Amino acid sequence: MTAPWDPGCVTFAIDRSHATPITAQITATLRAAIVEGRLRPGTRLPSWLDLAAQLGVARGTVKAAYEALADEFLVFSAGAAGTRVAERRAPRPVEAQQVDIPRPLQDMERGFSLRPLPFQMGVPAQDAFPAKLWARLRTRAVRANAMAPVGPPDPRGEPELRGQIAAQLAITRGICCHPDQIILTSGYKNGLCLTLLALGVQGRTAWVEDPCYPVNRMGLAIGGVKAVPVPVDAKGIRVDMGVRAAPDAALAIVTPGQQAPTGVTLSAERRAALLAWAKREGAWIVEDDYLSELQLGGRAAPALAAQDPAGRVIHIGTFGKTISPSLGLGFVVAPVEIAARFGEVAGYLNPAPNVTTQLALTGFLADGHFLRHLRHMKSLYRERRDALHARLDRRIAVDAFAGLAVIAHLPRGYDDIALVRRAPELGIAPAPLSIWYAKPEDAQPGLVLCVTNLRAPILDKACDALAALIDEGAVRPLPAQAA
Ligand SMILES: Cc1ncc(COP(=O)(O)O)c(C=O)c1O
């Protein structure tokens, strides 16, 4: 297929005084002629020499313009037959109204990459993030990474970072592990995904706490694992009820340090009972240690993985709460017996995230910033929680301190999901309590009020907005549990 070159189709207007290089001007003129269809597919372009002579420019200038067009697949070199215009498939315009793909996590997140509002869960204090230090560490990491000889990175994560995490875990969580038991992830959800793949538990059953982080129930369903809700009381998960409901479950997902969302710590007897069940049945315990050392009530309880000589606990940690979700980093500590399996899954299906961020985090841990930051966050969050508690007491019944949040139960008949949907209009973003329960009929309506971003200057306004929101729910009781 050929078409003759028609000089009338293309008008070059070379402007030597313009800031745009001459090569780019030639490229742009030819690109426009091709895209607009004035130069048809198969058209042979003039040789570099001919066009250069015609335009009064160097041959290399035309050659560079042709190469740029070839990089964009607009022309191709046909050997002795010269450079020709390529066949183009016109991009099919996608009409916006044809596509309506709902975004994920509709009930859990009000949107993504939005500025956090007061009471919003899952985000640490924005004003206390060590932004300058982090930027410096990242710059250092980018340079180190760019200069380093390039080889495939360890899919389990950078060895130095895994060594640092092992050292920190020994100090803050009492866990004694080898760095090769640690696999870097992009956060809790990724840790759960890696775990489900490594354990190969599709088609089996898992205990989940009731109430629990809703991600667990949905995540298990997506992973083909049946979730069996096990009630939680003031001592944590009712192990006896779990044993009765599903003695042969393949795993149990628990939050022993601070139960999510109630905040209770799993008691010593329940810990022993859970570990005994796992050992007896050959089951696994997935410990979601999302708050790590961030226990506002005092010293954090030891991790369950630190009390597990039989090696049944898979410990999932995250830097999302302790530093920032923007890092997108967490880790799994696998028992020695199955650590190689976790490494294989990371290697084939789930490699560790971005090396540069890992190197920056290595510096943050190695230079002692992490422990200092944790100490600072604990006292800041305690201050903010106490200030909220003192301020709320006047109008809203506070039922529990839970992790980094305060829980305010609402009377039956309130639709906390509908309330929460309206909250951003008032400039706040509490979370509904009811979605943490497995069954709507058992769900207790309420609001989970995260304290991390409640800076003193905004506290009064945020509490007034909250009271107005709750009053609105009282005046216009909403149909209970409307989804
Ligand atoms: C119980 C629990 N686990 C895990 C997470 C999420 O951790 P990440 O920041 O790694 O996504 C959350 C977030 O709110 C949580 O509440």
Q: Which helix (H) or strand (E) holds 253?
A: strand 251-254
Strand partners, 284: 251
What does the pLDDT average to over 261-274? 97
Domain boundary among the residues 368, 383, 398 is at 368
Residue 164 placed within a domain: yes
- Structure confidence at residue 51 (pLDDT): 95
Asked if residue 318 has its Cβ within 6 Å of ligand 1, the reply is yes
- Structure confidence at residue 454 (pLDDT): 96
Residue 74 placed within a domain: yes
- The amino acid sitting at 220 is L
For residues 145 and 255, membership in a common domain is answered with: yes
Residue 34 placed within a domain: yes
Residue 296 placed within a domain: yes
Q: Which residue has its alpha carbon closest to ligand 1 atom 6?
A: 188
- Structure confidence at residue 440 (pLDDT): 81
For residues 249 and 328, membership in a common domain is answered with: yes
Question: d(Cα 258, Cα 236) in Å, to the nearest integer?
Answer: 9
Residue 119 placed within a domain: no
For residues 73 and 155, membership in a common domain is answered with: no
Which of 5-14, 266-275, 319-328 is the most confident on average? 266-275
Question: d(Cα 183, Cα 304) in Å, to the nearest integer?
Answer: 18
Residue 70 placed within a domain: yes
pLDDT tens per residue, range 385-440: 999 988 885 656 677 788 999 998 888 878 899 999 999 999 999 999 999 999 98
Q: Which residue has its alpha carbon closest to ligand 1 atom 3?
A: 290
Here the CATH number for the domain that contains residue 140 is 3.40.640.10
Side-chain half-sphere CA neighbours of 353 within 13 A: 17
Does the pTM exceed 0.85?
A: yes
Residue showing tokens 């309130």:
414
pLDDT tens per residue, range 291-344: 999 999 888 999 999 999 999 999 999 999 999 999 999 999 999 999 999 999
Q: CA–CA distance from 282 to each of 311, 315, 478 (Å)?
A: 10, 17, 46
Tokens describing residue 378: 């604990």
Cβ-proximal residues to 83 (8 Å cutoff; 6+ apart), any chain: 44, 45, 66, 70, 75, 76, 77
* Proportion of the chain above pLDDT 90, given as a percent: 80
Here the CATH number for the domain that contains residue 439 is 3.90.1150.10
Q: What does DSSP say about strands 226-233 and 205-210: parallel, antiparallel, or unpaired?
A: parallel
Sorting pLDDT into bands at 50, 70 and 90, what band is 481? very low
Sorting pLDDT into bands at 50, 70 and 90, what band is 352? very high
For residues 284 and 360, membership in a common domain is answered with: yes
For residues 219 and 276, membership in a common domain is answered with: yes
Tell how far the Cα of 213 is from the centroid of ligand 1, in angstroms.
8
For residues 157 and 278, membership in a common domain is answered with: yes
Sorting pLDDT into bands at 50, 70 and 90, what band is 91? low
- Structure confidence at residue 80 (pLDDT): 87
Which atom in ligand 1 lies closest to the alpha carbon of residue 330?
10
Q: How confident is the prediction for the chain on average, in pLDDT? A: 92
Say whether pLDDT at 482 is over 60. Answer: no
Q: How many helices (H) and strands (E) does the chain have?
A: 14, 14
- Structure confidence at residue 367 (pLDDT): 95
Tell how far the Cα of 61 is from the centroid of ligand 1, in angstroms.
56
Say whether pLDDT at 133 is over 80. Answer: yes
For residues 420 and 380, membership in a common domain is answered with: yes
Tokens describing residue 320: 């999302």
Question: d(Cα 351, Cα 345) in Å, to the nearest integer?
Answer: 8
Domain boundary among the residues 368, 400, 424 is at 368
Asked if residue 213 has its Cβ within 6 Å of ligand 1, the reply is yes
Residue 93 placed within a domain: no
Domain boundary among the residues 68, 85, 102 is at 85
Evaluate whether 13 touches 27 at the Cβ level (below 8 Å). no
- Tell me how many domains the chain contains: 3
For residues 347 and 364, membership in a common domain is answered with: yes
Say whether pLDDT at 36 is over 50. Answer: yes
- Structure confidence at residue 110 (pLDDT): 87
For residues 190 and 320, membership in a common domain is answered with: yes
For residues 287 and 140, membership in a common domain is answered with: yes
Question: d(Cα 406, Cα 421) in Å, to the nearest integer?
Answer: 19
What does the pLDDT average to over 107-133? 92
Considering only 2-6, 10-14, 104-108, 295-299, which range has the smallest mean pLDDT?
A: 2-6
Domain, as residue range, for 413: 371-475
Residue 91 placed within a domain: no
Residue showing tokens 């696994």:
284
Which residue has better confidence, 472 or 230?
Answer: 230
For residues 317 and 390, membership in a common domain is answered with: no
**Closest Cα to residue 357, out of 393, 326, 401?**
326
Which atom in ligand 1 lies closest to the alpha carbon of residue 260?
1
Q: In 87-237, at which residue ranges do the beta strands (DSSP E only) sit?
A: 182-185, 205-210, 226-233, 236-237
Q: What does DSSP say about strands 83-85 and 75-77: parallel, antiparallel, or unpaired?
A: antiparallel
386: number of Cβ within 10 Å:
13
Q: In 255-338, at which residue ranges do the beta strands (DSSP E only) sit?
A: 284-288, 313-318, 330-333
Here the CATH number for the domain that contains residue 47 is 1.10.10.10
Tell how far the Cα of 188 is from the centroid of ligand 1, in angstroms.
6
For residues 286 and 339, membership in a common domain is answered with: yes
Asked if residue 330 has its Cβ within 6 Å of ligand 1, the reply is yes
Which atom in ligand 1 lies closest to the alpha carbon of residue 213?
1
Q: CA–CA distance from 348 to each of 160, 161, 198, 335, 344 (Å)?
A: 21, 21, 11, 20, 6
